[in-house]
Structure 1
Amino acid sequence: MAHGTHSARKTRVATPVFEIVRREPRSSFVWHTHDYPAPCARWNYHPEYELHLITKGCGHYIVGDYLGFFTPGHLVLIGPDVPHGWFSDMGPDEVVPGRDVVLQVDGSWFQGLMTLCPELDVLHELLAASRHGVEFLGPEVARLGARLAGIGTMDDAARIPAIIDLLLDLSRCPRRTLCGAGLTLSSDDMEMEKIDRIIRRIMENNTIFHRQCDIAREVGLSASAFSRQFHRATGDTFVSFMKKLKIGRACQLLTTTDASVADISATIGFSNLSNFNRQFLQVRRTTPSRYRRDVRRLIRHEGTSEAAEAPGCHA
């Protein structure tokens, strides 16, 4: 299950696409499953909440400014307008059938549900956390994922209580948030559209060398207006956001390639290795070398567990 260097060379983050989620007139939500690659399997964002399950394969995923790795059973809740995408490690012309199971729900449905049933107010914390992306953890995740997949076999009336029960159990499941910056994209006003374009361009570049003053000038904003609007869009300062994004790129390269720490430091724009090590430690609370060793050990462990439990992964 180790990730080869071809993946790091071949995969390039594309501009996030605004996805129009179309639900049937008599449906409160959208449930679907799809292969990979597929037209809908892109880096995208939309105003609906999305519960996303990976059933097969491994690769890397992006939620906001977070870059990580997935294996079968990976279950994540994405909040409105948070860009996200899952990219499998695979050869040319290869297809992973039924890789994704997706549930997409409009926020107004949740709000109406909690207004009608105050007992469901316990979902508020989970929904708020989803704006930073939530990954579910622990031994219960496999069963929760199987229940999400099973919703597709139910009739319309049975799906509603099944979804509510699933959400309540998810609210009690161990979890972690993914993107500390809370990156979201929105097209609600002209100034935010400028910031959105900037974020998309930054996210699609593998090597990042952007100065705040240059970008502010390019989009016709003053330094103060740019700073204010960027913070509104990302929940972070431009400098802090860029640092976290660079470190995220470093984590990807540390795990997917055998390049030296010094080479990776230079690739992502650090001219000083000591400064890179210091910044990495500040963001990830570990050193680059230890991060590489720990993640690869985890991948090997999950790969072994996956092989032993293969029938359960595809239930």
Structure 2
Amino acid sequence: MKPDLEVVDVLQHESFKVWGHGYPFRTVRWHFHPEYEIQLITETSGQYFVGDFVGRFAPGNLVFMAPNLPHNWVSELPEGRTVERRNLILQFSTEFFCQRILTFPEMRYLDGLVAEARRGVVFADATGAAARPLMEELLTASNGRRLSLFLSLLDLLALDGGRRQLASRRFSPDPSSYMSSTINQVLSYIDQNLASDLRESDVADLAGQSVTTFSRYFRKHTGMSFVQHVNTLRIHRACELLVDSGLSVADICFRVGYNNVSNFNRHFLAQKGVPPSRFRALYQMNVVSAA
């Protein structure tokens, strides 16, 4: 089964993305992305899949994966039960890692760990326990402290002599093949045309499906409706522009694909809990206080 593409949006003013989610959640599926990922399980147990590896996980399960390595964690929970925070995730691009971090001579000791990550690496329980406070703090850290925590986490992983690789040597990710699947072509198309007038009926035509069939297909693979997915990506991109540009709220509204400001404000408030102008002011306040 070909994995689904996960679109990872790292904000332009950040070098890496740190976040967490509960269970069930829309990204809990067999998927891949062109970013490195460090994932720590904080609650639940179950089965996990990395490349052609299948194993058991429990709280403290810490895994480091190279780009395009398919993976999934499936928690075993009674029907109807949900978990607010199942894991912590750190994702970063190859450009940032290889062209920024690994260019320092002092960081070459990470070469072995990076090579092992192509098959996925799982770490000792003690390393998972030590990584948790670092990743928890990373959720809210800023400026130099954020980078310091990131390097401390990498150091922790590199010094774990009990780590082991997961996927077999014969397993080789094939992202070009993955992208040939219909859902991945659709997700890529949406990401590249976010500022245009995206209509579900038009995208369904591109996928060669009726709107009804496409709607079910899209929700099955993403965990949300087409409209929800588009709005989530648009608001995320709006956040980037609010903190990284001097554009007005109205200009940002049209740049991310909304056709009127009131509609943009409504969706932004629903997702972020504050209007766009307040979001920008709060971010600037945080920058000043951290200076």
Measured against the shorter chain, the TM-score band is 0.5 to 0.7
2:165 to 156, 163, 177: 177
Asked if 1:142 is matched to 2:91, the reply is: no
Which residue does the alignment assign to 1:161? 148
Asked if 1:85 is matched to 2:72, the reply is: yes
1:100 to 71, 83, 87: 87
Trace 1:25-64 onto structure 2 (pairs within 5 A). Answer: 25-64=12-51
Question: How far is the alpha carbon of 1:179 from its aligned partner?
Answer: 0.5
Does structure 1 conserve the Cα–Cα contact (< 8 Å) formed by 2:3 and 2:178?
A: no
For structure 1, the 5+ residue unaligned runs are 1-13, 198-315
1:123 maps to amino acid: L
Trace 1:277-296 onto structure 2 (pairs within 5 A). Answer: none
Which residue does the alignment assign to 2:98? 111
SS of the residue corresponding to residue 139 of structure 1 reads: helix
**Cα distance in 1, alignment partners of residues 50 and 171 from structure 2:** 9
Report the RMSD for the aligned CA atoms in angstroms.
2.0
Which residue does the alignment assign to 1:231? none
> TM-score with structure 1 length normalisation?
0.54
Question: How far is the alpha carbon of 1:153 from its aligned partner?
Answer: 2.5
Q: Residues 17-65 of structure 1: CA distance to partner in whole angstroms, max 9, x if unpaired?
A: 1111001110111110101111122211011000001000101010000
**Cα distance in 2, alignment partners of residues 96 and 67 from structure 1:** 23
Gap change, CA 1:169 and 1:97, over 3 Å in 2: same
Trace 1:130-279 onto structure 2 (pairs within 5 A). Answer: 130-173=117-160, 174-180=162-168, 181-187=170-176, 192=177
1:40 maps to amino acid: T
Which residue does the alignment assign to 1:247? none
Does structure 2 conserve the Cα–Cα contact (< 8 Å) formed by 1:83 and 1:183?
A: no
For structure 2, the 5+ residue unaligned runs are 182-291
Q: Residues 244-291 of structure 1: CA distance to partner in whole angstroms, max 9, x if unpaired?
A: xxxxxxxxxxxxxxxxxxxxxxxxxxxxxxxxxxxxxxxxxxxxxxxx
**Cα distance in 2, alignment partners of residues 193 and 94 from structure 1:** 32
Gap change, CA 1:24 and 1:114, over 3 Å in 2: closer
**Cα distance in 1, alignment partners of residues 5 and 174 from structure 2:** 9
**Cα distance in 2, alignment partners of residues 128 and 95 from structure 1:** 36
Question: How far is the alpha carbon of 1:193 from its aligned partner?
Answer: 5.5
**Cα distance in 2, alignment partners of residues 160 and 182 from structure 1:** 33
1:41 maps to amino acid: V
**Cα distance in 2, alignment partners of residues 32 and 76 from structure 1:** 15
**Cα distance in 2, alignment partners of residues 48 and 96 from structure 1:** 26
2:4 maps to amino acid: V
Does structure 1 conserve the Cα–Cα contact (< 8 Å) formed by 2:40 and 2:128?
A: no
Question: How far is the alpha carbon of 1:115 from its aligned partner?
Answer: 5.1
Question: Share of identical aligned residues, percent?
Answer: 32
Does structure 2 conserve the Cα–Cα contact (< 8 Å) formed by 1:113 and 1:120?
A: no
Question: How far is the alpha carbon of 1:15 from its aligned partner?
Answer: 4.5
**Cα distance in 2, alignment partners of residues 106 and 157 from structure 1:** 19
Question: How far is the alpha carbon of 1:128 from its aligned partner?
Answer: 0.9
Does structure 2 conserve the Cα–Cα contact (< 8 Å) formed by 1:131 and 1:182?
A: no
Q: Residues 153-211 of structure 1: CA distance to partner in whole angstroms, max 9, x if unpaired?
A: 31243111110121012101120000013331312xxxx459x76xxxxxxxxxxxxxx
Does structure 1 conserve the Cα–Cα contact (< 8 Å) formed by 2:10 and 2:92?
A: no
SS of the residue corresponding to residue 126 of structure 2 reads: coil
